[in-house]
């Protein structure tokens, strides 16, 4: 079992609320990622980070923002949640020093977000 | 366009039976291919990884194959168990970026009935 944690596991909130999804890993990995996954669909990369103070947008446009102040922590924030943000959000990390051919991403359990 | 296609979309089998899941990809330049298992409400967990030079890899009752020429992979599950019920996702990594970008299939939803 990978040492990567996400909280909360489930969140139901009203439109317009500000939320932060937490992600922490204890493996000392440099690279961290946020994915969005809808039922029956593939994972889409929305944010990633090469290390502290590094954040980049992924393939799927997202209104969320991320920060990377500490190696182990990579929170995702939505300033004003909308029903279109309802989805599962998965955090992952990988060892930036590993050879690219074996650079495995370890996933957290996910946060299921529902915006009413 | 880099893509990963999986078939079938869903599969129901009886406990103890074998099954094979398929994956076709167009990702280039190819780095490696992984099969992940994702239980409902959980994050994906890696089952196998294969690089260009490997054509088969086993992990217990799971055996993955890779044909890099035809860009096809399969995951064979032997003697299925109820706990095998999950989504199986084919994930291909390219070596064209420092990020090690992953391309995900939509998964095959496997249900094992007693």
Check residue B63 and give its pLDDT. 97
Check residue A98 and give its pLDDT. 64
Chain A contact for B24 (CB, 8 A cutoff)? no
Distance CA B50, CA A57 (A): 28
Which residues in A lie closer than 8 A to residue B106 (C-beta atoms)?
40-42
Out of A2, A4, A40, closest to residue B106 by CB: A40
Chain A contact for B41 (CB, 8 A cutoff)? yes
Out of B43, B93, B98, closest to residue A108 by CB: B43
Residue length of chain B: 114
Q: Does residue B4 carry a pLDDT above 90?
A: yes
Chain B contact for A42 (CB, 8 A cutoff)? yes
Q: Does residue A113 carry a pLDDT above 70?
A: yes
State the sign of the Cα–Cα–Cα–Cα dihedral B55, B21, A105, A1. negative
Identify any residues that bridge with B75 across adjacent strands, giving them in sequence order.
B21, B64
SS (H, E, C) chain A: CCCEEEECCEEEECCCCCEEEEEEECCCCCEEEEEEECCCCCCEEEEEECCCCCCEECCCCCCCEECCCECCECCEEECCCCHHHCEEEEEEEECCCCCHHHCCCEECCCEEEEEC
CA distances (Å), origin B99, targets A88, A91, A111, B42, B94: 23, 15, 24, 24, 9
Coil/strand/helix, residue B79: coil
Check residue B51 and give its pLDDT. 87
When the pLDDT of each residue in chain B is averaged and rounded to a whole number, the result is 92
> For B89-99, how does the pLDDT look when each residue is reduced to its tens digit (9 = 90+)?
999 988 766 66
Check residue B60 and give its pLDDT. 95
Q: Does residue A115 carry a pLDDT above 60?
A: yes
> For A30-63, how does the pLDDT look when each residue is reduced to its tens digit (9 = 90+)?
999 999 999 888 999 999 999 999 999 988 878 8
Q: Are A66 and A76 in contact (CB under 8 A)?
A: yes
Nearest to B75 by CA among B30, B32, B34, B27: B34
Chain A: closest CA distance from residue B88 (Å): 11
Distance CA B57, CA A76 (A): 36
Strand A4-7, strand A65-66: pairing = unpaired
Cβ of B105 within 8 Å of Cβ of A42? The answer is yes
Segment among A106-115, B24-33, B61-70 with least mean pLDDT? B24-33
Chain B contact for A92 (CB, 8 A cutoff)? yes
Chain A: closest CA distance from residue B63 (Å): 18
Chain A contact for B51 (CB, 8 A cutoff)? yes
List, in order, residues 6 or more apart from A60 with CB less than 8 Å away: A36, A44, A45, A46
Cβ of B32 within 8 Å of Cβ of A102? The answer is yes
When the pLDDT of each residue in chain A is averaged and rounded to a whole number, the result is 91
Q: Does residue A102 carry a pLDDT above 90?
A: no
Q: How many CB pairs under 8 A join A and B?
A: 60
């Amino acid at each position: 079992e990978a040492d990567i944690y996400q909280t909360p596991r489930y969140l139901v909130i009203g439109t317009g609320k500000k939320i932060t999804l937490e992600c922490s890993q204890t493996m000392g990995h440099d690279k961290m990622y946020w994915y969005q996954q809808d039922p029956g669909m593939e994972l889409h990369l929305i944010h990633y980070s090469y290390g502290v103070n590094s954040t980049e947008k992924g393939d799927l446009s997202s209104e969320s923002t991320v920060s990377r102040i500490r190696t182990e922590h990579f929170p995702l924030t939505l300033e004003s949640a909308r029903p279109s943000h309802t989805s599962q959000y998965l955090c992952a990390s990988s060892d930036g020093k590993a050879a690219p051919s074996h650079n495995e991403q370890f996933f957290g359990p996910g946060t299921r977000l529902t915006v009413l | 366009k880099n893509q990963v296609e999986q078939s079938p979309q869903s599969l129901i089998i009886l406990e103890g039976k074998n099954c094979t899941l398929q994956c076709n990809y167009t990702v280039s330049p190819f780095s490696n291919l992984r099969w992940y298992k994702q239980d409902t409400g959980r994050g994906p967990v890696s089952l196998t990884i294969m690089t260009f030079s490997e054509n088969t890899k086993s992990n217990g009752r799971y055996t993955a194959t890779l044909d890099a020429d035809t860009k096809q992979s399969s995951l064979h599950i032997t003697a299925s168990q109820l706990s095998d019920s999950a989504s199986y996702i084919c994930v291909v990594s390219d070596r064209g970026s420092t990020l090690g970008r992953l391309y995900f299939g939509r998964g095959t939803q496997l249900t094992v009935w007693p």
